[in-house]
Chains A and B, each alone.
Chain A
Amino acid sequence: MILSEPQVTVSEFEARTGWAVKPEGLCKGEVCVPAPEAAVGDDRLDAAVLSTKLGMPLVHDEATGTWALGPESLGHSLTTATAPDLELPDVDGNPFRLSSLHGRKVLLVAWASW
């Protein structure tokens, strides 16, 4: 997740990572990590706290003042078997949301031109 400051809005964090901000902490599937110090005001989170609590590396490019917050590192690439509500564009830029396929089996294949 690309950030222009070491903070992220709750909505952006939840949409990109699949983690949810709940009263009991930061939650994904059955996993909840207490992190009361992550809140910055009502709608923002401290990226450094997220990095510490969830093992999300925070990488900084000084020249552009940009941060990248990586995924959680809790042992496996999946923390839950619930598929994230991913939105990606098609080749013409039209957005497509994975959850629009609920009710159907999905074979999600990663390929590349290279």
Chain B
Amino acid sequence: MALDLDPEKARPWIDAASPTHPALIDRGHITNELFGFHNVPMAVWIDESGTLVRPAESASVEKRESMGPLPDDLPARIKDLIDEAQQIPDIGERYRAAVLDWVERGADSPYALSPDQVVSASHPRGRSEAEAAANFELGRHLHDAVGKDAAVPYWRAAHTLDPDNWTYKRQAWTLETTPEGQPSDLMQPPTELYEGNWLDDVKASGGGANYLTKPAFID
């Protein structure tokens, strides 16, 4: 499920993967409200009865490939950004093993939580985070109904109200930093419209090592 305001940005990835499972689009990031997603990639596990057995948490099933040595002539900001990205914990192998254990053993898997455990382990949401969600959705609606600029005040508010929500920030930033007709920009450098940007916000939140909401079974 892609959290993409523009489904056409997600289409090349879906076409390349040619998945046998459903591949959905959440333009309004409403699954943030319903499940507690606040970054990507994140996942929830749902059993055969429709009950969540793990709350929203960072998810990856592939070991990250090493980038190798960086060229000496890279701009300093790009080097800095890659350094932070490389500090993001690589949870792929352990997460994949946990998923496979649950697939095989179901409720007997130690990774499958009880309903009470799932609720209490779900992402905190107080008034500020809920208000951020309302502001983000209003911005998304005005983006469609009025135009891109109408969304900005509400998305800025969402960023301030819930600074730990990366989907609200990265979705807005990338719309500003992606050239027309190009794939979504992943670098998301500073803009005049928004106070934050990927590199400075990652640093402010403790660096790439703190970027994920790691499952409790991963130290």
* A76-B142 in contact (CB<8A): no
Give residues 59-87 of A contacting B (CB, 8 Å). 59, 61, 63-64, 66-84, 86
**Most chain B Cβ neighbours within 10 Å, of A78, A90, A102:** A78
- Check B64 for interface membership: any CB of A closer than 8 A: no
Interface magnitude class on chain B: 35 or more
Give residues 175-189 of B contacting A (CB, 8 Å). 178, 183-186, 188
* A113-B134 in contact (CB<8A): no
* B115-A66 in contact (CB<8A): no
* B9-A113 in contact (CB<8A): yes
* A86-B34 in contact (CB<8A): yes
A77 interface neighbour in B41, B51, B123, Cβ under 8 Å: B123
- Check B79 for interface membership: any CB of A closer than 8 A: no
B124 interface neighbour in A16, A55, A75, Cβ under 8 Å: A75
Closest to B135 in A: A59
* B171-A114 in contact (CB<8A): yes
Chain B 20-61 near chain A by CB (<8 Å), digits 1 or 0: 001111100011011111001111111111111101100100
- Check B99 for interface membership: any CB of A closer than 8 A: yes
Chain A residues in 8 Å Cβ range of B114: 81
Give the docked Cα–Cα distance between A80 and B116 (Å): 8
Give the docked Cα–Cα distance between A51 and B40 (Å): 29
Give the docked Cα–Cα distance between A63 and B174 (Å): 26
Give residues 77-114 of A contacting B (CB, 8 Å). 77-84, 86, 88-91, 96, 98-99, 101-114
* A2-B4 in contact (CB<8A): no
* A105-B131 in contact (CB<8A): no
Top 7 nearest A-B pairs (CB, nearest first) are A77-B36, A70-B134, A81-B115, A78-B122, A73-B130, A68-B138, A114-B174
Measured CB to CB, the residues of A under 8 A from B are 1-2, 16-18, 29, 55-59, 61, 63-64, 66-84, 86, 88-91, 96, 98-99, 101-114
